[in-house]
């Protein structure tokens, strides 16, 4: 049975609205996805019926909220094939990477090497630059090919006796490239390196099993996964989390505190100082529950069909440059229009109710790799339709006419 995008759309209240007198065509899900009613209602229910602070409380509301919060952790752990004690709630993928980088940085020495790729999001670049500035570590960059694929042979050549960390995107937020994570992880481990994967894009479009990947750390955000903002998850192998020092200090992350000494809680609570994002975690759990109830293979096929439809209709458009066409890529179309700045393209598309992203997409090294100052990006999600794909192509063609 074909995936029924229209039925799914009915679960997203915002998709019923109009923008500039046109039906909203939301093609910015790679930046942040819209929220289904199941997520909205879960958060509202928590606020209206059983909200209190989590842990340590002995009254009914505290117990109910703690159960819901820790229940969300169990749902997210099951979603990625992990154990609950291996899942740390963070503000998002960015904080998760910062947490790992800060912890690993305590034992890195000058000259130690960290391998990244040219396609990384700034969230998986800047925290490692901090260590370059503060610890004297060396950043090494795996190149990508002209079609946007990681050069695996060049990556392997970068690995050596000083490689301590390999930090890579599982799926590029600009190119849609899906990296061979299992193969890259194996290579990195053979070199003795710790591996972190930025899964913020990949986990939305494909099932992820962190045990099968054998990755040491895996990070992702709630808001791209149809959940709320301000919440994300860090998966870490139990022994890897246990080896990290606390990232922040405060309540919840302690064992005991005195004037003379302090002990720390075991992971994951060691890394969740202060009152956590309780409602957001509950909403995150609801999003994972909702998505788990759908046929994810059918979703991926649906998204790919939309992308292929757009590419076919734009075939021969000599005014268009597409960034990244690696085999097996996800449904992300980043592009430039001859003679037009990406910001202008996005603003004109908005007149037709089409929402796309424009700019560097927090990936300036990648933009330089392709000789661009910016690009526009249309990203397809499970709630997009063939009619919307056609509306995007029609609007883009009209937009190009402004600049010809």
CATH of the domain at 208: 3.40.640.10
Of 345, 313, 336, 362, nearest to 201 by C-alpha is 362
Residue 82: Cβ within 10 Å count: 23
End-of-domain residue from the set 292, 307, 331: 292
Asked if residue 207 is part of any domain, the answer here is: yes
Query: Distance between CA atoms of 193 and 185, rounded to whole angstroms?
Result: 9
Give me the residue label for tokens 């009914």.
Answer: 60
Q: Are residues 147 and 215 in the same domain?
A: yes
Query: Distance between CA atoms of 317 and 313, rounded to whole angstroms?
Result: 9
Contact between 312 and 322 (Cβ < 8 Å): no
Q: Are residues 270 and 329 in the same domain?
A: no
Residue 369 makes CB contacts below 8 A (sequence gap 6+) with 118, 143, 144
Q: Are residues 20 and 153 in the same domain?
A: no
Contact between 381 and 303 (Cβ < 8 Å): yes
Q: Are residues 333 and 287 in the same domain?
A: no
Residue 107 makes CB contacts below 8 A (sequence gap 6+) with none
Catalytic residue (choose from 71, 362, 369, 372): 362
Query: Distance between CA atoms of 64 and 86, rounded to whole angstroms?
Result: 23
Q: Are residues 327 and 219 in the same domain?
A: no
Domain count, the chain: 2
Q: Are residues 195 and 315 in the same domain?
A: no
Q: Are residues 171 and 277 in the same domain?
A: yes
In the annotation, is 200 catalytic?
no
CATH of the domain at 355: 3.90.1150.10
Q: Are residues 206 and 190 in the same domain?
A: yes
Asked if residue 34 is part of any domain, the answer here is: no
Tokens of 367: 């933009």
Report the relative pairing of strands 254-257 and 320-323 from DSSP bridges: unpaired
End-of-domain residue from the set 245, 276, 292: 292
Asked if residue 33 is part of any domain, the answer here is: no
Q: Are residues 271 and 379 in the same domain?
A: no
Q: Are residues 158 and 133 in the same domain?
A: yes
pLDDT at 1: 56
pLDDT at 57: 86
- The model's pTM: 0.97
| Domain extent for 156 | 41-292
Output the CA angle 270-276-278, nearest 5 degrees.
135
Residue 380 makes CB contacts below 8 A (sequence gap 6+) with 27, 29, 303, 306, 307, 331, 332, 333, 389
Tokens of 40: 């909205």
Output the CA angle 265-221-45, nearest 5 degrees.
80
Output the CA angle 114-164-249, nearest 5 degrees.
90
Tokens of 358: 């424009």
Query: Distance between CA atoms of 50 and 55, rounded to whole angstroms?
Result: 14
Q: Are residues 285 and 343 in the same domain?
A: no
One digit per residue, the tens of pLDDT, for the chain of length 404 reads 578 999 999 999 999 999 999 999 999 999 999 999 999 999 999 999 999 999 988 999 999 999 999 999 999 999 999 999 999 999 999 999 999 999 999 999 999 999 999 999 999 999 999 999 999 999 999 999 999 999 999 999 999 999 999 999 999 999 999 999 999 999 999 999 999 999 999 999 999 999 999 999 999 999 999 999 999 999 999 999 999 999 999 999 999 999 999 999 999 999 999 999 999 999 999 999 999 999 999 999 999 999 999 999 999 999 999 999 999 999 999 999 999 999 999 999 999 999 999 999 999 999 999 999 999 999 999 999 999 999 999 999 999 998 87
End-of-domain residue from the set 292, 310, 342: 292
Contact between 246 and 238 (Cβ < 8 Å): no
Asked if residue 192 is part of any domain, the answer here is: yes
Q: Are residues 21 and 47 in the same domain?
A: no
């Amino acid at each position: 049975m074909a995936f029924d995008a229209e039925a799914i759309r009915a679960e997203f209240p915002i998709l019923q609205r109009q923008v500039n007198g046109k039906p909203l065509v939301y093609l910015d899900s790679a930046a942040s996805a819209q929220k289904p009613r199941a997520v909205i209602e879960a958060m509202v229910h928590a606020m209206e019926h059983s909200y209190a602070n989590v842990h340590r409380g002995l009254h009914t509301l505290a117990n109910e909220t703690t159960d819901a919060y820790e229940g969300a952790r169990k749902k997210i752990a099951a979603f990625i094939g992990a154990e609950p004690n291996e899942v740390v709630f963070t503000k998002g993928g960015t904080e998760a990477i910062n947490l790992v980088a800060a912890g690993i940085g305590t034992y890195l020495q000058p000259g130690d090497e960290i391998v990244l790729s040219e396609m990384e999001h700034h969230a998986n670049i800047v925290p490692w630059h901090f260590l370059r500035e503060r610890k004297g570590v060396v950043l090494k960059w795996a190149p990508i090919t002209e079609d946007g694929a990681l050069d695996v042979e060049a990556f392997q050549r970068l690995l050596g006796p000083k490689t301590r960390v390999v930090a890579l995107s599982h799926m590029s937020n600009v190119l849609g490239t899906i990296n061979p994570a299992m193969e890259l992880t194996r290579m990195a481990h053979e070199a003795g390196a710790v591996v972190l994967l930025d899964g913020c894009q990949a986990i939305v479009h494909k099932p992820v099993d962190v045990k099968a990947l054998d990755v040491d750390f895996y990070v992702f955000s709630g808001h791209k996964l149809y959940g709320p903002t301000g919440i994300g998850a860090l998966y870490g192998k139990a022994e890897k989390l246990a080896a990290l020092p606390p990232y922040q200090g405060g309540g919840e992350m302690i064992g005991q505190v005195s004037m003379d000494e302090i002990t720390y809680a075991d992971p994951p609570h060691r890394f969740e100082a202060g009152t956590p994002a309780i409602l957001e975690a509950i909403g995150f759990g609801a999003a994972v529950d909702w998505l788990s109830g759908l046929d994810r293979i059918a979703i991926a096929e649906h998204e790919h069909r939309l992308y292929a439809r757009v590419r076919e209709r734009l075939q021969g458009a000599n005014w268009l440059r597409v960034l990244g066409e690696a085999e097996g890529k996800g449904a992300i179309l980043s592009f430039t229009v001859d003679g037009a700045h990406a910001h202008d393209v996005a603003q004109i598309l908005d007149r037709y109710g089409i929402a796309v992203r424009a700019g560097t997409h927090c990936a300036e090294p990648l933009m330089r790799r392709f000789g661009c100052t910016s690009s526009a990006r249309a990203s397809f999600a499970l709630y997009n339709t063939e009619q919307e794909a056609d509306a995007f192509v029609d609007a883009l063609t009209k937009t190009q006419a402004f600049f010809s």
